[in-house]
Amino acid sequence: MMTVRADELRENLHLVRERIEKACEAAGRASDEVTLVAVTKTFPVSDVRALTALGVRDVGENREQELKAKAPDWPDVTWHFVGQLQSKKARSVVRYASVVHSVDRSSLVTALSKAAVAEERTVRCLLQVSLAWYGPAEAATGAGRGGVEPSAILGLAAEVAAADGLELGGVMAVAPLGSDPDEAFAGLRDVASRLRSEHPGADWISAGMTGDLDAAIRQGATHVRLGRALLGTRPPLG
Ligand X SMILES: *Cc1c(COP(=O)(O)O)cnc(C)c1O
Q: Least distance to ligand X from the beta carbon of 211, Å?
A: 6
User: Which CB sits closer to ligand X, 112 or 209?
Assistant: 209
Three-class DSSP category at 122: coil
Question: Least Å distance between CB 139 and ligand X?
Answer: 16
Q: In degrees, to the nearest 5, what angle opens at C-alpha 188 toward C-alphas 182 and 189?
A: 85
Is 17 a residue that touches ligand X (CB under 6 A)? no
Report if residue 42 touches ligand X, rule: CB under 6 A: no
- Restricting to residues 49-88, name those near ligand X by CB under 6 A: 62, 82-83
Distance, CA of 76 to CA of 56 (rounded, Å): 9
Residue whose beta carbon is closest to ligand X? 227
Query: Is residue 9 near ligand X by the rule CB under 6 A?
Result: no
Among 160, 207, 217, 229, binds ligand X (CB under 6 A): 229
Whether residue 102 contacts residue 156, with contact meaning beta carbons closer than 8 Å, is answered with: no
In 10 A of CB 197, how many CB atoms?
10
CB of 27 to ligand X, least distance (A): 19
Judged by CB under 6 A, the residue of 41, 68, 114, 194 near ligand X is 41
Q: Is 177 left (phi over 0), alpha (psi -120 to 50) or beta?
A: beta
| 24 touches ligand X by CB under 6 A | no
- Cα–Cα distance between 27 and 109 in angstroms, integer? 34
**Helices vs. strands in the chain: H and E counts, helices first:** 10, 8
Beta strand ranges found along the chain (DSSP E): 35-39, 58-61, 78-81, 99-103, 123-128, 166-172, 204-206, 223-226
- Interface residue with ligand X among 31, 35, 110, 210 (CB under 6 A) is 210
Of 142-201, binders to ligand X (CB under 6 A) are: 174
Select the span of 43-51, 152-160, 179-187, 221-229 touching ligand X (CB under 6 A): 221-229
Let me know: does 64 contact 89? Beta carbons within 8 Å: yes
**To the nearest whole angstrom, how small is the minimum distance from the Cβ of residue 42 to ligand X?**
9
Establish if 39 lies at the interface with ligand X (CB under 6 A). Answer: yes
Residues in contact with ligand X by CB under 6 A are: 39, 41, 62, 82-83, 174, 209-211, 225-229
